[in-house]
Structure formats: C-alpha cells, structure tokens
Amino acid sequence: MHMKSHINYKIDLLKTANLSVPGGGNVSEDAVPILLSPKYRINRLAFNLSPQKLDKNNELCFQIKYDRESLVKFDILKGDIGFPEISFINSENEVYRLKRGNFKDFLNRNELKEWQTVKIPLSVLIFHVDLKENVLSELGFFEAPIVKIVFDFLSSSEEIRLELSDVAIKESESTKVSLDDLFKIERVAATKNFENYLSERDSISFSIVKSDIAKFLYPGLFKLKILGNNAIQSLEVNEKKEFFSLPLQRFGENVFAIEGVNGEHNFLSSLKICRALPKEFSLSKFIGFSDEFRVEKCYEIGSGLFRIVVNLRSVLKDSGEFRFPSGQDPFRILNRSDIDYWISLKGIPSWLSKREGQYDSYRYGPKDFEEYKNLLMWLFQKAKENNVKVVELWNEANVIHEWNDTFDVLAKMCEVSREARDEVFPTCKIASPSSTSWDFEYFEKLKSHNIFDFVDYFALHAYTYQPEEIHQQFARLKDFLELIGKKELKAAITEIGFRTPAFSEKEQAQYLFAYSIMAYAHEFIDSIFWFRIENPRYESLSSYDQNSSGGYALIGSEGKYVRSSFAAFRFLNKLLCNQPIFKIEELDSMTMVELVSDETSYYIVIKANDNPLERLGKYIYYDCFGNEISFEQARTEKVLIMKGI
C-alpha cells in the first residue's frame, strides 16, 4: 500500500480539481487509476482548477505505481513509453512544462512497479517551445494564476495501467543549501590542471572562508561540523580563512555531511570528494572523450583520444575562400601532438543549403555538390594540418533535428566526402554518419543506400536506458557487421554516456566501465568515446536545468564536483594500458572477460541481472573504482573485477 501524507498540502488536487482521466476509471479521494489506450498516441490526464496562485517555491508531489504487466520503457528513439510530459497552464493560456524525457530524473527507474513518491519543484518548469500557439507573456509565468495541470502520457501498442495517488501542490521542504553559496572552498596546493575535489592520495586539504553572500546574509561566526569516513571535525569560520583536512578511505566517491550553525540558523549540506588512482604513463588510445573543448583535461585524465563536433553551419565564404568566423575555428583547440583527434561534421551553411534562407536549412543537403566538395577539400586540408585521424561524416543523422533530408542525399554527400578526402588527405579515415543510439532500423537504411562503401568506420552512439541489454546489443552489432560483409570495416562508439540523476553516479561509472570492457573484448570495435569531460556552462548544485547535458559530465562547471566515473576511468586504463590479451565468455546470467598481461590475469564479470553472484573460485575482488572488496560485497556489484591468486 502507498503511504498517505497530507502534510504541507497547499492544494489537494484530487479533492479540489475537476479531473479528466484516461480510461475513465473510478477516482477516489486518494487515487486515480489510469488506463493508457493504444488507440491514441497521447493519453491526457487533466486537472482543471479554479484559478490558483502558485510560485517557484512550490512543488508538485504525487505517488505513482505501474501495473506489473504493463510494458513501460525509457526509449531514446521512440520516446519514454508510458511516461508523462507534465504541463502547467496559466490564465493567460501560457504553458510551462517538464519534458517527458526529464521525468525519469525524478523517480527511481528500478522501482516502477512499486509505489514511489515523486517531487517536482515548480522552479524546474520551462516555456513549452513546441506549442506554436504558446506565446511568452511579458509577466513571469507565475504572476498569473494556474488554471490547469496536465499529464500527457505516451502510449504503446498495448494497454498500460498505472495509478497516481496523493496528487498535491506543496510548499517546498528543502532545507539543504549549496556550500558554494555560503563559502569559498579551495584545495590546498592546487595545481592548474587538477580538480578542486579530486585527489590521488588518501587525504585532501582545503581552505575555507565565508562568501560575500554569507557575510551579508549571515554575519558573525559559522560553527561547522564535518562528518564522514569515521571522522568528525569541528570548525569555526568567520572573516578569516581557515583550514581543514579530510581522510579519503576509498577510490571513487567519499561523501562528508556538513552541519552548520549561524546564530539561530541551521544548515545541512554535503561535500563529495573523488579519489582516483594516479594517471598511467601510457595514454589510452582505445577509450577517448567527446567534448566541446577540454583537450588538456583529456590528457590529464589519461586519454590520448579526443573527439569534437564541427558545425559547418557557421562557415563563411569570402572572395572564394572558406573560413570560420573570427574566434570560432574549432580546430584551434586541437593543440596536442600526443592526442589522436576525431571530428564529427554537422550542419550545412545556409548559403550552400538547398533550403537557403530557411530556419532549418542546416538540416538539408547542398544545392551544389561541386561546391560541397570544395568545402570538404578545405576541411580535410585543415584536418591534415591539425593531426586529425578520423572524420565522421554527420553527427546523429538518425534524428530530424540534425538531418531531415533523404538518405539518397546523405549517401551522395558521403561519396563526395570520400572523393575530397582522397584528393587532399588520403591517409585520413572516414566514419559513417552516427546515430543517437542502437538504432538498427537506421543502420539498415545506411546499408541499403551503400553508405558503408564510402567509409572506413561504422560510427554509432551507444546511449541507452536499458544497460541490462548490453549483451544483446553487442551481439546484434556483431551480426549486423557480418551482414555488411566488409571485413575491414570496424565499428567505433563515438559517444556513450549515462546521465545522472536518471542513473545514480555509481551506476554511471559501472555502466561506462562495462560498455568499455565489452567494446575492448570485441575485435570489431576500434574505440569508444565517453561523453563528456566537463560541463562547460554554469550549473547550480541546488537547482535543476531541463536543457543541461551536465548530467553526463565527469567534472562540474568550474570544477564544482568530480564524479566517481573519473576514478572508474583511471582503474580501467590501468587494466587496459598494456593492451592485454582478452578472452570473452558468455555464461548463463553474465559475461566474463579475461585480460592477460605480464602473467597477470584479471576477470571482469558483467552481470545481466541483480541476482547475487555465486563464488567462482579463489580471487581478490575489486569494484570498478579499484577498491579491494570482500566477496560478500562483490556478490551484489553490477560490474566485478577479480584477480587470480
């Protein structure tokens, strides 16, 4: 049974709203049974309200549970089946929303068939840009009263049943504050390329001083208590800089709770430190990073493989010469000779597009293929001058917001690109237009249009919300490559990532580790690129941005955090840096990859489910960060590393 909680209700929506319910189920004061019919692509649950004044400090709360037989799925290609986009409509008919793809960030994807509580701060809502009739008012959205709240569920080919209960608007209960708002914390003896919250040692030291905001809002003394890793520290902070040290007991995430008192004000916060193994002498040339810039960070992490997306949309032509606008040449960052560079192309300049002058001209092919060839010859010349090894011919061409022309045109562009490469930079390799995910329907279209005849690599992005299907994904990819019948053609996973908070930070690290090991253990895969190194845009640790891709990043903007995936990469590179011989074995409920190097054998176990592991023999056990763990701890790890005794 779900737990009822009417504390701090501002509006009990089940009692006060007029409801329109998909499936016409009987609505009680406590629950709404919902039936999503396959007859309609969208099934709408609507709460029609008398005008209600809300603000950003409120939150929408409810409990949700899906029927055990209902086939719901987070799907990158077709949309999140069975899940809602939530929109608020005010009296001016202005619509703000939580996008369907972001809904998963507010619930536990592993407990969909059990009652769970969802809390969505109204501060995360954004203007609904996809509604053509939606007009942004001059006033703030919450200046006008709210008259309607709708849940637009995406249906499936089969019926989906779920329930909502305790649907309400509440005052926010958040009492946590960001340390960044109150204090300036700096790592002692920090270096230019080393992150503030990262250490390769078993301890880390910081200086701390009150921020200008804290001095203004909370004058006087702050008494802090820092707890974690079996240690308690007390600290008093005022105008003068103070110092403290923290023990780091494990590789990966070390979390410290911070309790603060300033007069009558009490604060709760936390501090996360990532401890990682030291960088290996050899840079990884198998696991790389895809990012906007951050080449120096790529080197510091320990990779010698870096990919950027080059947008040709901005290319200008003056007096017969091509150029990027001043200060916008993406090749300027490719400044290390010890790193191999991949670039991925996207976007056609408007002046060259068949839809010249239209808002979406960049998503279509050229009106003049001879001129497109000239553009590509200029590009390959720049690639030659900047140590580029591979050019990917289009980034994520399987989605219409990146490519909306025909596959015949895409094939012709690939053919012309190869001609330009052969004339200017014949040693450079070419990769096929990539996908957003494991999109085999798209791959079939590339094959049927002979696009693989023009390329050296088969590029794909391996984003997925079904990492438990890792074994089937790689098996299907192997079968598809055999179907192409081009023996020298290798695949390259040119982007992969697992976004937090849809995945926990530990899951993010485990799945990046697992997919990288699986890629290494399949000879038909040349390389894999993690997305991304660092979030380049400002992010607040105490708020949520629907449009941010920061959930993929190893490092926060301005170094505000270092996720444990950083430590996973370091341990992974330690295992792979000497290019060990591998053997892969598929067992009943897991895959085991053996790595042999310098008479040392490691066995990486990738489980297909959460069932506890049975003892396989005498081994030393490690988690994916490099911590030695007991067998009892090892049994429940999704990814387990074993070293033979």
Nearest to 417 by CA among 355, 344, 483, 314: 344
pLDDT in tens, 304-318: 999 999 999 999 999
Report the predicted TM-score, pTM, of the whole model to 2 decimal places.
0.94
Residue 372, pLDDT above cutoff 90 = yes
On the 0-12 / 13-18 / 19+ scale of CB atoms within 10 A, 371 is middle
Q: Which amino acid, one-letter code, is at 265?
A: H
Q: Does residue 317 contact residue 368 with C-beta atoms inside 8 Å?
A: no
Kindly indicate the confidence band of residue 606, based on its pLDDT and cuts at 50, 70 and 90. very high
Whether 558 has a pLDDT exceeding 60, the answer reads yes
Q: Which among 149, 14, 19, 154 has a CA at the least distance from the CA of 81? A: 154
Instruction: Indicate whether 5 pLDDT > 60.
Output: no
pLDDT in tens, 405-420: 999 999 999 999 999 9
Average pLDDT over residues 27-56: 92
Q: Which of 445, 606, 598 is nearest to 519 (CA)?
A: 606
Residue extent(s) of CATH 3.20.20.80 domains in the chain = 287-579
Q: Tell me if 45 sits within 8 A of 32, measured CB to CB.
A: yes
What is the DSSP secondary structure assignment for residue 118, as one 8-state letter? E
* Per-residue three-class SS string for 604-623: EEEECCCCCCCCCCCEEEEC
CATH fold label, 179-275: Immunoglobulin-like (2.60.40)
CA of residue 588 relative to chain centroid, distance: 30
CATH 2.60.40.10 domain span(s) along the chain: 179-275
Q: Extract long-range pairs of 70-75: CB within 8 Å, 24+ residues apart.
A: 70/158, 70/159, 70/160, 70/161, 70/162, 71/156, 71/158, 71/160, 72/112, 72/156, 72/160, 72/162, 73/156, 73/465, 73/466, 74/104, 74/109, 74/465, 74/466, 74/502, 75/465
Q: Which of 422, 424, 411, 492 is nearest to 452 (CA)?
A: 411
- Residues contacting residue 265 through CB under 8 Å, at least 6 positions apart: 218
pLDDT in tens, 470-490: 999 999 999 999 999 999 999
Distance CA 222, CA 238 (A): 6
- Rounded to 5 degrees, φ, ψ at 467 are -65, -20
pLDDT at 217: 87
* pLDDT one-digit tens code per residue, 612-624: 777 777 899 999 9
Q: How many residues does the chain have?
A: 645
Flag whether pLDDT at 135 surpasses 90.
no
Q: Give the pLDDT confidence of 160-182 residue by residue, as tens digits.
A: 999 999 999 998 875 556 777 88
Q: Which two tokens stand for residue 195?
A: 């992150």
Architecture of the domain defined by 287-579: Alpha-Beta Barrel (3.20)
Indicate whether 332 pLDDT > 60.
yes
Closest CA to 177 of 218, 138, 143, 145: 218
Contacts of 351 (CB under 8 A, 6+ apart): 317
**What spatial distance separates the first Cα and last Cα of the chain, rounded to whole Å?**
49
Looking at this protein, which amino acid is placed at residue 127?
F
| Distance set, CA 274 to CA 49, 247, 490, 568 (Å) | 47, 11, 35, 10
pLDDT value at 539 more than 80: no
Q: Using the 8-state DSSP alphabet, how is residue 562 labeled?
A: B
As assigned by CATH, the class of the 9-171 domain is mainly beta
Quote the tokens at residue 467: 């990492």
Task: Check pLDDT > 80 for residue 191.
Answer: no
For the chain, percent of residues with pLDDT exceeding 90: 79
Separation CA 190–CA 21 (nearest Å): 57
Mean pLDDT computed over 539-557: 83
**How far is residue 78's CA from residue 55's CA, in Å, rounded to a whole number?**
33
* Beta-bridge partners for 346: 311
Angle, CA 481 vertex, CA 479 and CA 487 arms, to 5°: 125
Span of 98-112, 114-128, 145-159, 162-176 with lowest mean pLDDT: 162-176
β-sheet bridge partners, residue 525:
491
Residue 421 confidence (pLDDT): 98
User: Residue range 44-71: average pLDDT?
Assistant: 94
Rounded to whole angstroms, how far apart are CA atoms 483 and 477? 10
Averaged confidence pLDDT in the chain? 93
What stretch(es) of the chain map to CATH 2.60.120? Answer: 9-171
Q: Strand 525-531 to strand 600-607: parallel, antiparallel, or no bridges (unpaired)? A: unpaired
pLDDT grade, residue 245 (50/70/90)? very high
Answer positive or negative: Cα dihedral of 44, 50, 56, 59. Answer: negative
Q: Output the pLDDT for position 544.
A: 84
Give strand ranges (E) for 339-415. 340-346, 388-392
Angle at 365 between CA 361 and CA 366, to 5 degrees: 90
Contacts of 264 (CB under 8 A, 6+ apart): none
Residue 16: count of CB within 10 angstroms of its CB: 14
Which pLDDT belongs to residue 550?
82
Note the pLDDT tens digit of each residue in 220-236.
999 999 999 999 999 99
Region of 616 on the Ramachandran plot (φ > 0 left; ψ -120 to 50 alpha; else beta): alpha
Q: What percent of the chain has pLDDT over 70?
A: 97
Bridge partners of 622, per DSSP, are: 628, 641
pLDDT at 61: 96
Evaluated on CA atoms 438, 441, 442, 445, the torsion sign reads positive
Q: Are 66 and 72 in contact (CB under 8 A)?
A: yes
Pick from 43-52, 109-118, 171-180: least confident: 171-180
Mean pLDDT throughout 427-435? 99
Q: What is the structure's pLDDT at 598?
A: 82
